[in-house]
Structure 1
Amino acid sequence: MTAIGGVQRRLQSAAATCLGFARLTLGSSARANGGLSFVREKANTKYTGFKSASGLKKATHFKYANLTTAPTCVDWRSSGAVTPVKNQGNCGSCWSFSATGAMEGINKIKHGTLLSLSEQELVDCDTSCSGCNGGLMDYAFQWVIYNGGITTESDYPYTSGSTGTAGTCNYPKTYDYAVSLLSYQDVTANCESCLKNAAANQPVSVAIDASGSAFQFYSSGIFTGPCGTNLDHGVLVVGYGPCSTGTAYWIVKNSWGTSWGESGYIRMQRNIASTSGLCGIAMEPSYPTM
């Protein structure tokens, strides 16, 4: 794998929200968001949009492309395929949390066991990404494939949230790999129905534009914007609704702790007029396969 040119630009872009908006602190200006307020980092103005990497080896075909019917509503949390909400802390590692969430989900679906996987191993060891300075979910999937697997959170716990930096990759390892991947696939871009087909079968990694204050200070309800499409934050689609009538939405797991949003989740409006989806959610989805 290579990490040059367009790759580095995309990694830098990914850090904008990962680093800039992930740190939450108590403060007198706290909004009605669990008593927490966001602290903006200088990095916010340093980085631009989340751009496609020219050096990225593209995945194979989208296997859910020909799915003709999908359930009216899906929530992988109710199926036990989603681990508790985590907190990336003061580290631009959103990409690793999105990637582990997708791998945790498909492992539960395929093998029946929900394991919390190690973001720290990705942050420390995946040199195609830039640790706390941003990264790509597809690169994380590629690293796990080439590496032969990824270990559990308990064997390789997350520390970069407090240190703000990547650690030293733990080689040689004294633990076994808990999960391995066969491949990963990119969902057809700018196609919310395609994303729905994928999310009907497993949790899906997505990138969104989370730079706006409306998103940052979201607390509850169905989020309708405003937001742009400069992709700068990796999150996880764990379902969609509603099961009856009402506004269509995605169920999205964030990595900013349980005090943000709806206990760490956000419901984002689905089936909007723009093909990119709200905040660009349909622009670059992907998922791992086993």
Structure 2
Amino acid sequence: MSLFEGLSAFPITPADPSGRVDTVALARVLNRLADARVDSIGLLGSTGAYAFLTREERRRAVEAAMATVGGRIPVIVGVGALRTDDAQALARDARAAGANGLLLAPVSYTPLRDEEVYAHFAAVAESGELPLAIYNNPGTTRFTFSRELIGRLSEVANIAAVKMPLPADGDFAGELDAIRSVTSPSFRIGYSGDWDCAASLLAGGDAWYSVAAGLLPVETLALARAAQSGDVAQTQRLNAAFEPLWSLFREFGSFRVVYVIAELLGLCKVEPLRPVLPLPDTARDRVAAALIVLRKHFA
């Protein structure tokens, strides 16, 4: 299996209010993923609050992760940063710590043009010397990768995959065909947006980059495997059990919801780093209720 195939679990990065990573709590979260045998771990993705952490803390997180799960589960590390030289340094840090792959988003303050993003990705891919996935996350970065730009980047050494948002029209098959028409057969296409990613696997997507799997790996893996096997009825049945959680993800953003889940599971008690605020008590009660529904289904 390619590094960028199957279920990739994206955990939170537990940290105190100053942004100091709690490596003991992080190891606790990661061991849960390794025990479930997810296909890869997406460390320091958006769920992992990479944009809120210093280079030093990101390096500590990667080193702790590799000490915990290195050699058991492949680890893909997010290396997005505002400046190209910073992203290059983060990529080198990840490689030095033993990471298996990289994930790069075009983080920016000034809106970027295609040529700027191309040069940025080419530079980081060269510095990292590891397989790299393009992180197409327009909801956060306000930059959308065109099919043509993905095709050009797929020809750059080390750039091996793309992580896509859910298509607005729901046409996974059409989008997959379109991207595959401009990339090589070895280039991998995966999706994020948990509530519809099972459908992406049914349609032939290569990977599901999952927030839920970062804390609920056993349940999410069951859904992913049903979709990968082409079992439509089982996929729909399992996805229905997740729907209360998906509804919360859509309403509040998965980043806020997973901090509540981590506490409810007894993994750690931390809050999102400011300026992001924790969920109000009424929403926390709904998260607890969604977990009860999910646990009853998988009991």
TM range, smaller chain: under 0.3
Q: Structure 1 or 2: larger helix share?
A: 2
Give the TM-score of the pair, scaled to structure 1: 0.28
Point out which structure has higher relative CO (alpha carbons under 8 A, 6+ apart): 1
Give the TM-score of the pair, scaled to structure 2: 0.27
